[in-house]
Structure 1
Amino acid sequence: MVKIEPFAVEQWMDKYETTPGVLNIAETCAASLSIADLAGLAVPTVIDEKTVIPPADPLSALATTRLTYGAIRGSSTLRKQVAAVFDTGKDDSIPPLSPDNVVIAQGAIAANYLLFYTLLGPGDHTICVYPTYQQLYDVPKSLGAEVSLWKLKKEKNYVPDTTELEGLVKHNTKMIIINNPNNPMGTPIPRSVLEDIVRFAQQRGIIIFSDEVYLPLSHGGTLAPNPDEDETGLFGETKEPLEPPPPPPSILTLGYDKVIATGSMSKAFALAGLRLGWVASRDPAIVEAILAARDYTTISVSQLDDGIARYALSDPIRPSLLNRNIALARRNIRHLARFVGKWESKGRVRCAWVPPTAGTTAFIQFSTVNDDGIVSPVNDVDFCLEVLKATQVMMVPGSHCFGHGKHFQGHVRIGYVNETAVLVEALSKLDRYLENNVA
């Protein structure tokens, strides 16, 4: 029997996100859309000198579709659209990703599991960034692979330090696993660091796997232009915006074939209810191996999910969908930054973070100062439960869900790309809780 560790963050979400009246700022998806909302984002496009207006209801186009299994790899149109997502920002010298190199799966979580199940086993060694989504290192362990954690450091702004790879690699290292942008940190891996990782792996024939579910949502954080220039914030003003860092490219665009990337409709595209994701590689042998293993698991995705995903990633929808979510991220990160700024050093409270510039999550440490001036992280599990009970504000405890109870004491993960009104209300209640109970 395979031994696998409890998936702490998913179990926490399952247990508490249905709390009556919950203000869920633990959620990591951009604020979810209905199909009607999605249709409202449609913009007419010109194709072959003709204006094309997409259907107002994507379900109507599916009404006469016979519900067979459908295309095993995913529809050719959807795979072509996903390939275009990965190709965003690629250099002209890099050939376009072929749709044949894309496999559609039941969410990124299934895509990740499928590639691990296909490629890793006893005798293999992997290097995985840490902290990250627990699946990325515990599933390889459950399959018998050895895992070395590549620990991210605050003094490096939680960007992987490639000088450490030489000390982590082994003779049997088969895969380097990264998460770009990082969950829970919200920090992207810059292009220069990705290129260093590629050079290191290519010299040794090591596969690189990059979980890129948040990559399309590279928003620049508070360094990016404010979508609401006349906005008056809840907790005071932030600094003048600076030039944000350029978004990193997909690992698939850096000229190395033994790379794998996954993504989904859930996080950056605000459609988690579709349960649709993908895995892609420039190595045809890797793709064929994944497809062979897939025959023993899920066969195909739902034709309905495939059809709605095609609609969402179509030219009339995708740009406005991403623009909506990027604007939401830029608006909301300012509210969160004002909150953190207020509590960086107030009374007995200390609040610290590395401000995220991509994705939907922030990792914030709460500490208290005693009468002797000693700063101690809060018990993040107790803190999250007490806040939930007192205010209905739900957060994720960092040490429990990302540090196995040993690391990241006092940290909480906050998902800030939800509806602005929900975030503002939640931060207001958390603010009053700190004023009344901690400060």
Structure 2
Amino acid sequence: MKIAGFGVEEWLNKWEKSATYDISQSTISSMTMQEALALDGHQGAEFYDMLDKEKMNYGWIEGSPEFKAEVAKLYADVDPENILQTNGATGANHLALYALIEPGDHVISEYPSYQQLYDIPKSLGATVDFWHIHEDKQWYPDIEELKALIRPDTKMICLNNANNPTGTLLDEAFLKQVVALADQVGAYVLVDEVYLPLDHPEAFTSIVDLYDRGIATNSLSKTYSMPGIRIGWTASNHEVADIFRKYRDYTMICAGVFNDLMATYILKHRKQVLARNQQLVLNNLNIYRQWIASEPRASVVMPQAVSTSFPKLDVPDDIEDFCVRLLKETGVLLVPGNRFDMPGHVRLGYCADEATLKEGLKRLSVFLRQYD
């Protein structure tokens, strides 16, 4: 099996620990253990009471019943038995693609988006057509282009909603158009849903609540600020979940007792987590919006209160060379757009802590002045 290098991960693996001001990430500022444990109002007594009773064996292979029940609450009508715990959304995406895509299948993938969603199908021998997003259309793809791409034998349509790196959210009306086309040919629709719009979270619609052959993947890494426990999941209908079970046994076994308990605890306290993160995101989005308005060499299609954005920088240099020099000379880390096959742009994660964001943007502006 041959597969392309994972552009974003290779970049971050090389550079992120060198950064003083990391504004490249797509996680909402990660919680410390102290912050997480404080959610119960008793310095973690609730969590440790659960943990102290557990043996450190394999635990629940698919995720505990409590975990499955909490995840199911995120959807309108998903049976907890159809929730399968994975190693982050990365593991969830891999499971769905590994289980369903075979050599010769036809897959349509939103592009650019999270690289798994097109390069894994390619590596499995599928023919992958790109459904391009367009900056002049607020980073939306064109439904007419999907109509031209879809075939009677299309096996799957892969989306990233909200999109990484742009932060654009596909609304329910648009998703229903995608579903109608997929349904005509019996195609699955796989949607990586790790980014929840925190300005209006109640307006978000999961693909699994719109379409019987819809598959939602998600995790606690972005919206819930707990990437360190590496917990994600798939949500699907019963038939698809049963297919996944077989392949999951080959790729994961279990997430571990501690991680499952912490994930369940975070989900039980999701109202507090979302309140914390909504305040952070909306505050930082305002800071970012003001910076964009005052920075002549940057422009952006503003994201909808999710944690990632994709500004265009007006610089004459190769964008990756620019980002390397920026890091080495100022300590500021961005992800160059060529890692998404979109040179000229950068991924800017504005949901670091406020102090890091402000200083990172200040230093980026000073660095940009050399081109004036």
Q: Which residue of 1 aligns with 2:371?
A: 438
1:269 equivalenced with 2:211 (yes/no)? no
- Conservation of the 8 A alpha-carbon contact between 1:264 and 1:278: yes
Superposition deviation, residue 245 in structure 1? 9.9
Number of the residue aligned with 2:248 = 294
Match of 2:170 in 1: 189
Structure 1 residue 394 displacement after superposition: 0.3
Deviations 1:118-176 (A, max 9, x none): 00011101101011011110011001111100000112111222121121112321001
Indicate the SS of the match to 1:17.
helix
Partner of 2:20: 22
Match of 1:281 among 229, 236, 259: 236
Pair 1:247 & 2:203 matched: yes
Give the match for residue 160 of structure 1. 141
Partner of 1:418: 352
Query: Take 1:65 and 1:41, find their aligned partners in 2: how far apart are those partners?
Result: 21
1:392 corresponds in structure 2 to 331
User: Are residues 1:259 and 2:183 paired?
Assistant: no
The 5-angstrom pairing of residues 325-404 of structure 1 reads: 325-344=277-296, 350-368=297-315, 378-399=317-338, 401-403=339-341
Question: What's the CA shift for 1:54?
Answer: 9.4
Q: Which runs of 4+ in 1 moved over 4 A?
A: none
> 1:241: which partner in 2?
none
Which sections of structure 1, spanning at least 5 residues, go unmatched? 44-52, 88-95, 221-243, 345-349, 369-376
Which residues of 2 match residues 173-184 of structure 1 at below 5 A? 173-184=154-165
Report what 2:78 is aligned to: 97
- 1:245–1:31: structure 2 CA closer, same or farther, 3 Å change rule? closer
Q: How many residues align?
A: 372
Q: Which has the larger radius of gyration?
A: 1
Q: Output the amino acid matched with 1:414.
A: L
What's 1:39 paired with?
Answer: 37
Matched, 1:113 2:94: yes
SS of the equivalent of 1:167 reads helix
1:65 matched to 2:44: no
Amino acid at match of 1:35: M
Once the two structures are superposed, residues 302-346 of structure 1 have per-residue CA deviations (whole angstroms, 9 ceiling, x without a partner) of 1110000111111xx2101011111111111111111111123xx
Q: Note if contact 1:214-1:360 (Cα within 8 Å) is conserved in structure 2.
A: yes
Amino acid in structure 2 at the alignment position of 1:409:
P
Structure 2 counterpart SS, 1:128:
strand
Alpha carbons of 1:433 and 1:135: their partners in 2 closer, same or farther (altered >3 Å)? same
Counterpart amino acid of residue 205 in structure 2 = P
The yes-or-no answer on 1:86 pairing with 2:80 is no
User: Is the 1:207–1:258 Cα contact (8 Å) retained in structure 2?
Assistant: yes
- Alignment partner, residue 273 of structure 2: 321
Question: 2:4 maps to what in 1?
Answer: 5
C-alpha distance in 2, partners of 1:206/1:144?
17
1:248 partner letter:
F
Equivalence for 1:240: none
Q: 1:196 to 1:302 in 2, by over 3 A?
A: same
Q: Deviations over 1:203-238 (max 9, x none)?
A: 2211111100112xx124xxxxxxxxxxxxxxxxxx
SS at match of 1:74: coil
Correspondence 1:141 to 2:122: yes
1:430 CA displacement = 1.1
Unaligned runs of 5+ in 2: none
> Which has the larger displacement, 266-275 or 381-390?
381-390
Matched to 1:247, the amino acid is A
Are residue 124 (structure 1) and residue 58 (structure 2) matched? no
Q: Please tell me whether the aligned partners of residues 151 and 185 of structure 2 are also in contact (alpha carbons under 8 angstroms).
A: no
SS in 1 for 2:310: strand
Specify which structure has the higher proportion of helix: 2
Q: CA deviation at 1:378?
A: 4.1
SS of alignment partner, residue 17 of structure 2: coil
Q: Distance in 2 between matches of 1:73 and 1:194?
A: 29
Alpha carbons of 1:210 and 1:131: their partners in 2 closer, same or farther (altered >3 Å)?
Answer: same
Are residues 1:428 and 2:371 paired? Answer: no
TM-score, scaled to structure 1: 0.82
User: Kindly, what percent of the aligned residue pairs are identical?
Assistant: 38
Amino acid at match of 2:275: N
In the superposition, relative to structure 1, how do residues 245 and 81 fare at CA in structure 2: closer, same or farther (>3 Å)? closer
Q: 1:150 aligns with which of 131, 135, 143?
A: 131
